[in-house]
């Protein structure tokens, strides 16, 4: 019994020492150092550090608590039970107090540059200090008991030569002692069960379709960092540029696949680019190749929305051996600015959004309001733009605001458009290059698209050798917001190797009367 008690005491103290040392290091060294590097860097490093530390810290806490309570059960001092309760309290405290903060810091929608993120990081530091304190107190108790036991052993050894050891009464036998203390421990658990199972009110959390989201940055060839979020772990890889637009809705495609969403350069949470000569669609092509290489995806599927629908085709012309299937959603036309017949356009571009509201925004911008209040102006501008993105005004509110991301503030975004759009305007992918593309392409386009005319999508489906078109009547640019039950399942079927039922082969720009 002495051997069992000694082993349990050693393992309890060892586990507690490792945990307390790591916890104190985080509070005194790691977290202050990450905060000095800036809010965005600190938040990014936190995600990686959290995932690596969780398993280690949890195992050390549980093992220390279990072994210390075991040491008490087999005859150790009651202080072992007290220490075990202290180190064990780290677990419920983590779930009740720290996990809600962790969820917010790990939320992909959180703007890592914002003041809110810095507040969350500071709050997490204070909460983690409680874990450090609990583990340090438990360690002091363990070391104290070990010291007392060692002193008692030395004193007992010195007296052995003077008198015979007292005989242990039958009631104090090892087996009877173990069971008596076991019953006492069960009694304590029963008394504490109302506290253990009481639910603490939690703030509502958005349900993630897949909680296993890996986040980080891909470094492009010229050093620009591209923010990415990876969902799923299936054998089929799908790369989706334009994370800021499609991440929330397209996670539904993760079953059996690995989805790699990323923000383009100078957009979303990716690095801002000061050299305007590097804000081009050709740079986007290079960035897509950098993402593909990093994740070692030999022939991924590609999904491109808006001008990215053109970009993924341009990528395919340059890297045909590294593309399996392509999905275009609301793509711009092959030649930017192409004029299509009225039947192939929304027909209300001059009325939506409200011209009066656009005029007011323009005046505010000229008066310097956007520069002095960039986020507030972004929210005002976005409420107007939401209407442009949908055919049915009732669906506008379903599109989340991007204004937590500095790159999306109009004062930054307008500059981006100036150079990015210019590169698209100068581009016209040769028909000869398109004729060589044999991979399946699914084009999806709404008939009320005011950003990229429906005729552009119909033209792509007609020119690409192995393409088909799904038309979404009445939908605008973000067609999946208005017809999610059509678009998401259709893409899922297409990525699985089949043509969706609604996909049609296009041989002419002429629109059937049915549409």
42 plus 137 within the same structural domain: yes
402 within some domain: yes
* Other C-beta atoms lying within 10 Å of the C-beta of residue 138: 30
- Split at pLDDT 50, 70, 90, the class of 76 is confident
**Dihedral sign for Cα atoms in the order 275, 281, 282, 286:** positive
Say if strands 326-329 and 467-472 run parallel, antiparallel, or are unpaired.
unpaired
Same domain? 181 vs 230: no
pLDDT at residue 153, rounded to an integer: 67
pLDDT band at residue 422 under the 50/70/90 scheme = very high
Is residue 331 within 8 A of residue 452, CB to CB? The reply is: yes
At residue 38, the 3 state secondary structure works out as coil
Q: Are residues 147 and 111 in the same domain?
A: yes
Residue 204 resides in a domain: no
Q: How confident is the model at residue 167 (pLDDT cuts 50, 70, 90)?
A: very low
Query: What does the pLDDT read at residue 160?
Result: 53
Same domain, 327 and 273: yes
Model confidence, pTM = 0.62
Q: Which residues contact 108 (CB under 8 A, 6 or more apart)?
A: 213, 215, 229, 247
Q: What range does the domain containing 382 cover?
A: 210-515
Nearest by Cα to 215 from 224, 227, 223: 227
Beta bridge partners of 225: 219
Residues 115 and 253 in one domain: no
Same domain, 116 and 33: yes
pLDDT at position 174 is 52
> 191 and 222 in one domain?
no
Q: Does 162 map to a domain? A: no
Predicted confidence at residue 515, as pLDDT, reads 52
8 A C-beta contact, residue 451 and residue 479: no
The helix-helix angle for 484-495 and 243-250 (nearest 10°) equals 90
pLDDT digits (tens, 9 = 90+) for 266-313: 999 999 999 999 999 999 999 999 999 999 999 999 999 999 999 999
Whether 165 is covered by a domain: the verdict is no
Is 256 within the bounds of a domain? yes
Q: Is the pLDDT of residue 194 over 50?
A: no
Between the alpha carbon of residue 213 and those of residues 56, 127, 232, 260, the distances in Å are 20, 24, 8, 10
Which DSSP helix (H) or strand (E) runs through 225? strand 225-231
| Owner of token pair 């029963």 | 190
Go through 479-504 and write b for each residue having 16 or more CB atoms within 10 A of its CB, e for each that does not: bbbbbeebbbebbbbbbeeeebebbe
Number of domain units in the chain? 2
pLDDT at 131: 93
Note whether 240 and 341 are same-domain residues: yes
The alpha carbon torsion through 328, 334, 339, 343 (nearest 10 deg) reads -30
Enter the DSSP assignment of 226: E
Instruction: Look at residue 211 in the predicted model and tell me its pLDDT.
Output: 45
Q: Domain for residue 202, yes or no?
A: no
Whether residue 164 lies inside any domain: the answer is no
Cβ-Cβ contacts under 8 Å for 114 (sequence gap 6 or more): 39, 404
SS3 content of the chain, % helix, strand, coil (to 5): 60, 10, 30
Does one domain contain both 175 and 257?
Answer: no
Q: Pull the structure tokens for residue 455.
A: 């005729």
d(CA 467, CA 309): 13
Considering the domain architecture, whether residues 352 and 475 belong to the same structural domain is answered as yes
Encoding tokens for residue 203?
């703030």
Average pLDDT over residues 325-349: 92
Band (158; pLDDT cuts 50, 70, 90) = low
**Pair 445, 458: CB distance under 8 Å:** yes
Residues 128, 245, single domain; the answer is no
CATH number of residue 421's parent domain: 3.40.50.1820
Q: Residue with structure tokens 């929305």? A: 305
The rounded distance, in Å, linking the Cα atoms of 288 and 311 is 9
- DSSP readout, 82-135? HHHHHHHTHHHHIIIIIHHHHHHHH-TTS-TTSHHHHHHHHHHHHHHHHHHHHH
Residue 30: is its pLDDT beyond 50? yes
| Residue 149 belongs to a domain | yes
Residues 418-439 have a mean pLDDT of 94
Residue 174 near residue 1 (C-beta atoms within 8 A)? yes
One domain, residues 185 and 248: no
How many angstroms separate the CA atoms of 444 and 464, rounded?
14
Angle subtended by helix axes 99-106 and 115-159, to nearest 10: 140
Strand order from edge to edge, sheet including 301-305: 213-219, 225-231, 257-262, 236-241, 301-305, 326-329, 441-446, 467-472
């Amino acid at each position: 019994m002495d051997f069992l008690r000694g082993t349990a005491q050693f393992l309890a103290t060892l586990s507690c020492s490792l945990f307390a040392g790591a916890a104190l290091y985080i509070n005194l060294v790691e977290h202050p150092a990450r905060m000095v590097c800036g809010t965005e860097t600190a938040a990014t490093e936190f995600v990686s550090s959290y995932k690596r530390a969780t398993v280690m810290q949890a195992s050390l806490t549980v093992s220390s608590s279990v072994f210390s309570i075991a040491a008490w059960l087999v005859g150790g001092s009651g202080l072992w039970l007290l220490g075990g309760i202290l180190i064990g309290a780290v677990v419920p405290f983590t779930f009740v107090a720290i996990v809600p903060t962790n969820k917010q810091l790990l939320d992909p929608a959180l703007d890592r540059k914002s003041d809110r993120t810095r507040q969350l990081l500071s709050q997490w530091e204070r909460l983690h200090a409680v874990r450090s304190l609990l583990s340090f107190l438990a360690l002091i108790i363990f070391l104290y008991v070990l010291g007392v036991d060692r002193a008692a052993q030395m004193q007992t050894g010195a007296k052995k030569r003077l008198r015979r050891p007292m005989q242990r009464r039958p009631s104090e036998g090892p087996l009877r002692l173990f069971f008596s203390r076991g019953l006492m421990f069960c009694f304590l658990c029963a008394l504490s069960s109302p506290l253990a199972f009481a639910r603490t009110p939690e703030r509502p959390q958005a349900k993630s379709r897949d909680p296993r989201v890996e986040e980080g940055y891909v470094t492009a060839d010229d050093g620009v960092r591209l923010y990415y979020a990876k969902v799923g772990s299936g054998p089929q890889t799908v790369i989706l540029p334009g994370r800021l637009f499609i991440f929330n809705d397209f996670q539904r495609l993760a079953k059996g696949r690995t989805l790699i969403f990323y923000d383009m350069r100078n957009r979303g949470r990716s690095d801002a680019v000061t050299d305007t000569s590097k804000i081009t669609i050709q740079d986007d092509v290079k960035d897509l190749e950098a993402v593909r290489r990093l994740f070692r995806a030999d022939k991924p599927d590609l999904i491109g929305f808006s001008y990215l629908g053109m970009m993924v085709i341009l990528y395919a012309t340059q890297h045909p051996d590294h593309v399996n299937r392509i999905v275009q959603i609301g793509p711009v036309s092959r030649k930017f600015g192409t004029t299509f017949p009225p039947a192939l356009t929304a027909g209300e571009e001059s009325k939506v959004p409200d011209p009066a509201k656009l005029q007011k925004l323009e005046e505010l911008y000229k008066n310097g309001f956007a520069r002095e209040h960039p986020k507030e102006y972004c929210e005002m501008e976005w409420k107007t733009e939401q209407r442009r993105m949908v055919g049915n005004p009732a669906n506008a509110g379903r599109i989340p605001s991007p204004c937590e991301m500095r790159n999306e503030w109009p004062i930054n975004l307008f500059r981006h458009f100036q150079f990015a759009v210019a590169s698209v305007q100068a581009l016209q992918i040769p028909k000869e290059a398109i004729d060589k593309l044999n991979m399946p392409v699914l084009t999806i386009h709404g008939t009320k698209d005011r950003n990229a005319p429906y005729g552009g999508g119909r033209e792509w489906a007609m020119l690409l050798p192995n393409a088909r078109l799904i038309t979404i009547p009445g939908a605008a640019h973000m067609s999946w917001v208005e017809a999610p039950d059509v678009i998401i399942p259709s893409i899922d079927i297409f990525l699985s190797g089949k043509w969706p039922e609604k996909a049609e082969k296009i041989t002419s720009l002429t629109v059937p009367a049915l549409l």
